[in-house]
Amino acid sequence: MALRITIGQYYHADSPVHRLDPRAKLACALALMVTVFFIVTPLQLALGLSCAAALVVVARLPLRNVLASVRPLVVVLVILGVFNLFYVHTGTIVLTLGPVAITDEAIWWAVCYPLRLSAAILYGAIILLTTTQIQLADAFDAALAPITHLGGPGHELAMVFSLMLRFIPTLADEASAIIDAQTARGGGMGEGSFAHRVRSIGPMLVALLGSAMRHADGVARALDARCYEGSVGRSHWHPLRFRTMDAVAVMLTGSYLIVLFLLA
């Protein structure tokens, strides 16, 4: 059982999307992701999907990496579609299968829900693939600036968040090693009855927690050794600068939103 996680892994390329100021990029992406859930008409759906697809092209991301981040959620998307197909009863009936009646609206929602959710996932993937985790931390730092100004640990929260992103793949690898080891000892979540699998979660979590604590110790030592002392006195190799292209990105996002709402 190999839990290989590809979500949240930066893909380096030289593209306008990569070069955007992370604050502008994150704000635009959030706007795009949230408004996805206002999509209700086929025209809007077409616009939303083509916008996401266009971004993938502009960001020069290989289709393989983009699809890899959607793949783990395919099951959820399919269930979502099927659920809509059977539970939406408004509209005119187009098909009857025994006791189940399927309406034209049900078919539309069965298509629309999974597709618009995949658009949102795509935007998320684009952000993570085109933004280094240090840039993300800087963007969060900016977003949390009000907390920092009030004397709260805004900067530190942003750092913790970015370290969390950094360690997701490492911990996932370790979880799969632990599952392997326990499976080889006749336990483990890989095999056996449902009850057996549930019982084996405990030992897995204890070992994983131990390993997370060990990493936390190591990271603390590494941060100390490299003189990390919070934001005070810290400089930036690539200081954040809001440039013309960021303004263009914000304007493009704004016009997209206007068109999207006009199509409603």
Partner 1 sequence: MPAVAAITRPAISLEHVTLVYGEDMAALDDVSLSVAPGEWVCVLGANGSGKSTLASVICGLLAPDAGTVELVGEHVLDEGDADLSAYRRARREIGLVFQNPDDQIITTVVAEDVAFGPENLGVPPEEIGARVARELHRVALETYADMDPTRLSGGQKQRVAIAGALAMERRVLVLDEPGALLDVRGRRSIMDVMRRIHVAGTTLVHITHFMDEALAADRVIVMDRGRIAVEGTPREVFSHVGELRGLSLEAPFAARLSAALRHHGVSVPLTCDEDELRHSLARACASEAHAAHASVPCACAPSDEPPAVICEHVSYSYSDDARGHAALSDVTFSVPAGSTCAIIGQTGSGKSTLLRLVCALEVPDGGRIVIDGTPTGKRRDRRRLHGVVGFVMQHPERQLFAETVIEDVSYGPRNMGLSPNEITRRAARALDLVGISGKADASPFELSGGQRRLCAIAGVLAMEPRILVLDEPTAGLDPRGRAELRRILSEVNGTGTTVIEVTHSMEDAAVCSEVIVLDQSRLLMQGTPAQVFSPGHEELLKTGGLGLPAPLRFALALERDGMAPLDNPLNEDELIAAITTRATTFGSSGAVV
Q: Rule CB under 8 A: which residues touch partner 1?
A: 1-2, 4, 6, 9-10, 12, 62, 64-65, 68, 132-134, 163, 165-166, 169-170, 174, 177-178, 180-187, 190-192, 202-204, 206-207, 210-211, 214-215, 217-219, 221-229, 233-239
Distance of alpha carbon 155 from alpha carbon 140, whole angstroms:
8
- Residue placing its CB nearer to partner 1 in the complex, 51 or 122: 122
| 239 C-beta neighbours (distance < 10 Å), count | 7
- Residue placing its CB nearer to partner 1 in the complex, 68 or 115: 68
- Residue placing its CB nearer to partner 1 in the complex, 144 or 204: 204
Q: Cα–Cα–Cα angle for 175, 179, 183, nearest 5°? A: 175
Contact 200, 185 (CB under 8 A): no
> Least distance (Å) from partner 1 to the CB of residue 159?
9
Q: How far does the chain reach from its first CA to its final CA, in angstroms?
A: 45
> Least distance (Å) from partner 1 to the CB of residue 24?
19
> Least distance (Å) from partner 1 to the CB of residue 196?
9
- Residue placing its CB nearer to partner 1 in the complex, 81 or 187: 187
Could you list the beta-strand ranges (E) of the chain.
93-97, 100-103
- Token output for 240: 């954040």
- Residue placing its CB nearer to partner 1 in the complex, 1 or 145: 1
> Least distance (Å) from partner 1 to the CB of residue 213?
10
CA of residue 27 relative to chain centroid, distance: 14
> Least distance (Å) from partner 1 to the CB of residue 147?
21
Distance of alpha carbon 94 from alpha carbon 43, whole angstroms:
22
